[in-house]
Every structure is written in C-alpha cells, then in structure tokens.
Amino acid sequence: MNVLVLNSGSSSQKSCLYEIGDTLPDDPAGCIWEGKIEWAGNTAECSIRNSRGVYRKDQTSVASRGEAIERLLHTLWSGETQAISGPSAINVVGHRVVHGGAQHFEPSIVTAEVKSAIESVSVFAPLHNRAELEGMEIVAKKLGAVPQIAVFDTGFHRTMPLSAATYPGPYHWLEQGIRRYGFHGINHQYCAQRAARLLGKNLNSLKLVTCHLGNGCSLAAVLEGRSVDTTMGFTPLEGLMMGTRSGSVDPGILTYLVRQRQLSGQQLDEVLNEKAGLLGISGISSDMRKILAASKNGHERAKLALDIYVHRLRSGIGAMIAVLGGLDALVFTAGVGENSPEVRAAVCDNFAFLDLRLDQGKNAQSPLDEDISAPDTTVHILVIHAQEDWMIARECWSLVQTATTSMGH
Ligand code: ADP
C-alpha cells in the first residue's frame, strides 16, 4: 500500500511517501520519497529526496499552498526524483490535522462532515487547520477519489481525565470548548509505543514522561499507554518555554497589557507566539544551537534564556512524574531533545535522587532510539527520533485495512 502523508505547517509544506506491505512492521520504515517546501518572506526553498539517493534542492517561485502541493506531487511521479508511476499508484493520503476540537479525536476518513468539523475549530488554530483543509481540497482535485484520512494532533490526549483537561475558570468555558486539548499527540503516542518496544516491556505496564522539544515544546505523562496529562492546553502556547513562544505566563500580565498598554488581541498574539521564548529573552535567536553557543561565550541574555528553558523543563517533568506517581522512563525527542546532550544533562542532573542517571558517554553521542541511562539505574532515559509522518502512515494503513476487511465480510 502506498501511503502519502501531508504535513501542512504555517510556513511549510512537507510530504512523505511510505510503501507498506501486508503486515505493519514493528520498527519504523523509511519513506521512499520525501518533499518539503519552506517559505521565507517572498522566496521558497524546495527540497526532494528519494530512496534511490537522489537529492534535489532549489529556490522556487511557488506562491500558494496549492502550487506547492502540485509541485511536490509532480516530482513524485516524474523527473529524476520519481518514486511512483503516476497518481493512481497512491492508495491513501494521510493528513496531520493540528486541532480536532472536542468532537474529533480518532483518525477519520475525510468526509464533508469531518471537513466542516475541522473548519469549525479552525478559530482555535487558524494557521494550521486552514492550511490542512486546503491540502485536502488540492489532493481531491489532483488525485480524485483517493481516500483521505485526518490524523489529529490532539487525539492522543483525549484520555486526559477531566481534572487535567478542565481550566478552573467558570464552568461554561468547558461547555464552550474552552478546555485543555494538548498537542504533539501523534509524536507523544509514537514515542510511548517505541519506548515500550526499545525497553522490551508491555506499554500497559509503563509510566512514561515524553519530552517533545522542537521549535514547539511539550511534555506528556503517559500511564499504561494513555496520555493522562500534558503541558500544552487550549492552544499550543501553554506550558514550556519554546523557540519563539512564551509558554505559560501569569494571565494577569495579559489583562495588564490590554488595560494599561492598550495592546490589541493581535498584538498580544504576536508577542506571545513570535517574540517570546528563547528569542524574546536572548534577543538573538530561537535556535537552541545558537543559544547554547552564545551562552558558552558569556552572552548574559542567552544564558538566562537557557536557564529559564531548563528550569521550566525540570519543573514540568517533576509535575508529570507526580501525576504518574512514579516513572519507568524519560523520553527525549524532536530537534533539541534528540540533539542536545547539554539540555538532557541539565534536566537529568536534578532527578538523580529518583535514580534517573545518564551514561555520560552515550549522552554525548546523541544516539537515536537508544537507552542512554547509566547501566545500573532503575529508571531509563531514552532518545527517540520523532516520527510523526510514519505514525500517520501507520494509522492510515490500519484504517484502510479495517475498512477493506469489513467490506470483504
Ligand atoms: P519543529 O518543531 O519545527 O519540527 P525540530 O524538531 O526540528 O522543529 O526542532 C528544532 C529545534 O531543534 C531548534 O531549536 C534547533 O535549534 C534545535 N536543534 C537542532 N539541532 C540541534 C543541536 N545539535 N543542538 C541543539 N539544538 C538543536
């Protein structure tokens, strides 16, 4: 089965093609074709690679998402990056949908009803949900009646108890859908399943904290395979300090800024989402590599940014462990989690009292999908490569298999 996955970001369009046989492999399969278009100002950069080792990168003039998807699809079945014979070789298309609202959590076949549900919650995540809907329209236009499946980033957190999901505001907030949804769920779920496999344990017996540390950052407390708490909430702005996002701040600051400084909703949005976090504090970058380098060179604000990032990460992990009532493994994933020995060491140092200790040599090498805890510890520390697209492809494969089997009986 050829599964095409579309991941529509606010300023990027990514896509991968997976070829999956009659049984789903236990370990992640590599994609046979991968394409990405990233917009920066008025220009866009297009990079394509396929499993035959062909890699092409160039500046492109595509202006709209429609053109971007069209261009990516074209390279999938023509030219030197070709991976399949034509559009009809694609059996199913999976979409990462950031927000499913209070009604949609399970991976769903895209129907008019599902699209209107995604549209109705797009006010919660306007940049993402609209881009994803546009992707679905373009696929329908270009690939015809191929089944499309929406996989929700909020889905994994549907199992959070009401005590974790409800804000202690007025009760009618909950009735209006103002509640904690949580995000990065596709990768948190993947990491929990992968952790169990790497540890050789049954997921239903484990207490895990997964740390997704990319440009956006969130933690999840995973008890027996179910998310029971997470740091992001109603929007992907709550919780940890991030690249350009503040994470949690006293809501009193917002009312102060509105009343005393006359900031508009849009200005608040911009400050909290784009001018805060590592970038806002350091004044130099949202990129952790630059923050680490500047901090080593004595840049005071970069050092403060790093210290806040680590402080909030430690206190967030502590809270997740308290919710779980114990811990079997701490999982690091995504850009910072996979690549920064400094951040992992700074976080783990404070949890030595829980027997959470790193193997310094392994930590320094940042091996992927490995246990990097010291050999004699009871609590494990894992680094797991984020594989959202593979997780989406797996969900699509399973849903199509189930639909085919039920039609055959
Ligand atoms: P996204 O959330 O957009 O998918 P990524 O998961 O790719 O982002 O993570 C991006 C972050 O990872 C950036 O802050 C980047 O600085 C950080 N990162 C990548 N490589 C390293 C590294 N070697 N050391 C520290 N941070 C890194």
CATH code of 135's domain: 3.30.420.40
Would you call 228 helix, strand, or coil by DSSP? strand
Q: How far is the CA of 288 from the centre of ligand 1 (A)?
A: 7
pLDDT for residue 408: 60
Q: Considering only CA atoms, which residue is closest to atom 22 of ligand 1? A: 339
- CA atoms of 174 and 245, how far apart (whole Å): 25
Q: How far is the CA of 183 from the centre of ligand 1 (A)?
A: 18
Structure tokens given for 218: 């969130």
How does pLDDT run across 240-252, given as a tens digit for each residue? Answer: 999 999 999 999 9
Task: Check whether 307 has a pLDDT greater than 60.
Answer: yes
What is the mean pLDDT of the segment spanning 271-276? 94
Largest Cα–Cα separation, the chain: 68
What is the mean pLDDT of the segment spanning 265-290? 95
What does residue 197 show for φ and ψ, rounded to 5 degrees? -65, -45
Q: Spell out which residues line ligand 1, taking CB within 6 angstroms.
A: 214-216, 243, 287-289, 334-336, 339-340
- CA atoms of 14 and 32, how far apart (whole Å): 14
pLDDT for residue 409: 54
357 and 208 within one domain? yes
Task: Check whether 7 has a pLDDT greater than 70.
Answer: yes
How does pLDDT run across 208-236, given as a tens digit for each residue? Answer: 999 999 999 999 999 999 999 999 999 99
Ligand 1 nearest atom to the CA of residue 290, by list position: 16
Most ligand 1 atoms within 8 A of CB, residue of 12, 210, 289 to mutate: 289
Does the residue 299 lie in any domain? yes
Query: Residue 212: CB partners within 8 Å, gap ≥ 6?
Result: 184, 187, 188, 191, 218, 219, 220, 333, 334, 337, 386
111 and 250 within one domain? no
Q: In what order do the strands lie in the sheet with 55-60?
A: 55-60, 43-50, 33-40, 12-19, 2-8, 92-97, 148-152, 108-109
Ligand 1 nearest atom to the CA of residue 286, by list position: 14
Q: How far is the CA of 404 from the centre of ligand 1 (A)?
A: 39
Question: What secondary structure letter does DSSP report for 254?
Answer: H
CA distances from 268 to 134, 245, 264, 281, 286 (A): 27, 12, 6, 16, 19
288 and 215 within one domain? yes
How does pLDDT run across 69-86, given as a tens digit for each residue? Answer: 888 998 999 888 889 999
263 and 115 within one domain? no
Find the catalytic residue in 22, 153, 349, 359.
Answer: 153
348 and 209 within one domain? yes
Q: Considering only CA atoms, which residue is closest to atom 21 of ligand 1? A: 339
Does the residue 160 lie in any domain? no
Helix axes 65-77, 126-143, angle to 10 degrees: 50
376 and 231 within one domain? yes
Task: Check whether 312 has a pLDDT greater than 70.
Answer: yes
Question: What secondary structure letter does DSSP report for 30?
Answer: P
Most ligand 1 atoms within 8 A of CB, residue of 336, 384, 388 to mutate: 336
Does the residue 316 lie in any domain? yes
Does the residue 262 lie in any domain? yes
Q: Considering only CA atoms, which residue is closest to atom 8 of ligand 1? A: 214
What is the mean pLDDT of the segment spanning 38-51? 85
355 and 206 within one domain? yes
146 and 286 within one domain? no
Does the residue 12 lie in any domain? yes
The CA R_g of the chain, rounded to the nearest whole Å, is 21
Q: How far is the CA of 335 from the centre of ligand 1 (A)?
A: 3
Structural domain boundaries enclosing 8: 2-152
pLDDT bracket for residue 52 (50, 70, 90): confident
206 and 138 within one domain? no
Does the residue 35 lie in any domain? yes
Query: Domains in the chain: how many in total?
Result: 2
Hey, how many other C-beta atoms are within 10 angstroms of the C-beta on 37?
A: 22
145 and 8 within one domain? yes
Q: Considering only CA atoms, which residue is closest to atom 7 of ligand 1? A: 335
pLDDT for residue 51: 86
- CA atoms of 376 and 92, how far apart (whole Å): 46
Q: Which residues of 226-246 are buried (b: 16+ CB within 10 A; e: fewer)?
A: bbbbbbbbbbbbbbbbbbbbb
What is the mean pLDDT of the segment spanning 339-355? 96
Q: How far apart are the first and last CA of the chain?
A: 20
Q: Considering only CA atoms, which residue is closest to atom 23 of ligand 1? A: 339
Most ligand 1 atoms within 8 A of CB, residue of 186, 215, 342 to mutate: 215
Whether 153 is a known active-site residue: answer: yes
249 and 124 within one domain? no
Does the residue 328 lie in any domain? yes
Does the residue 90 lie in any domain? yes
**Is 210 in contact with 220 (CB distance < 8 Å)?**
yes
